Amino acid sequence: MFDALYTPIVTEIPAVVVSVEYRLGPEHRLPAAYEDCFEACIGSSKTPTTRWSKHADFSKAFLMGSSWLGNIVYHIKGLIMHQPFFGGIERTESELRLANDRFVPLSLTDLMWDLSLPIGVDRDHEYCNPMAKIKPDQFDQVKSLGWKILVTGFDGDLMIDRQIELWKKLEEKGVSVTGKFDEGGAHAYELGDPTKAKELAIVIKDLVESTTTS
């Protein structure tokens, strides 16, 4: 399914794309998926003899999460958050406006959080709503590492308000972050629209080149 997203990216950028498989809820609730992604990234960086890694420069690694996926790696130059999947107890304007969205309705996102969050917590838990309880030093490590961050989205995605809120908060904290939010679209819209997938690939290419060009 995600070939529609990754093929334009590797066409634009000379890169090795590694897709990580992770455990799913409700059998394996968060942070199981985060832990799996972390282990995969760390393991990859420690196995330079593998066939595919002979063609990859691990000093120029980027982490990209589209929708549900989120994780952390050791050697990275930047973080690409495409339509990051967030929620919360208090409804945003875009959630109310697009509650009955035909692609990803609000009832579906609520159900997904119910099935994936640790038992006993609500949607204001940090896994779901990282903006609910901001700590003074929450983004200090990201800033000190010098990561460049890209946050992208469509205003037809009910999570757009939360994505923009994250972008603004990162910018406020002095993190090197770029926000790219387009009109129309929907959650995961580029998977069915090659033109949008191509546009996203070019935006990602700009970030990669601005980070890796000395």
For residue 198, what are the domain limits? 58-212
Asked if residues 18 and 44 have their Cβ atoms less than 8 Å apart, the reply is yes
pLDDT tens digits along 60-90: 778 877 665 432 333 356 888 999 999 999 9
CA-CA distances (angstroms) from residue 60 to 18, 73, 75? 14, 12, 8
- Quick one: pLDDT at residue 192? 84
Average of pLDDT values for 186-191?
Answer: 86
CATH number at residue 155: 3.40.50.1820
Report the largest interatomic distance among the alpha carbons of the chain, rounded to a whole angstrom. 51
Count of domains for the chain: 1
pLDDT tens digits along 41-54: 777 666 555 666 67
Q: What letter represents residue 76's amino acid?
A: I
Provide CB contacts within 8 A for 51, sequence distance 6+: none
What are the tokens at 29?
């609730």
Cis peptide before 8 (omega within 30 of 0): no
Residues making up the chain, counted from first to last = 214
pLDDT tens digits along 100-127: 999 899 999 999 999 999 999 999 999 9
CA-CA distances (angstroms) from residue 12 to 7, 65, 154, 206, 208? 9, 18, 22, 10, 11
- 204 lies in a domain? yes
- 96 lies in a domain? yes
Active-site residues, by number, are 67, 157, 187
Q: What share of the chain is helix, strand, coil (3-state, %, to 5)?
A: 40, 10, 45
- 127 lies in a domain? yes
- Quick one: pLDDT at residue 104? 93
- 145 lies in a domain? yes
Residues forming beta bridges with residue 111, ordered by sequence position: none
Lowest mean pLDDT among 34-38, 83-87, 91-95, 176-180: 34-38
| pTM greater than 0.85 | no
- 53 lies in a domain? no
- 119 lies in a domain? yes
- 19 lies in a domain? no
Give helix 3-12 / helix 194-212 axis angle, nearest 10°.
40
- 5 lies in a domain? no
Can you tell me whether residue 57 is helix, strand or coil? coil
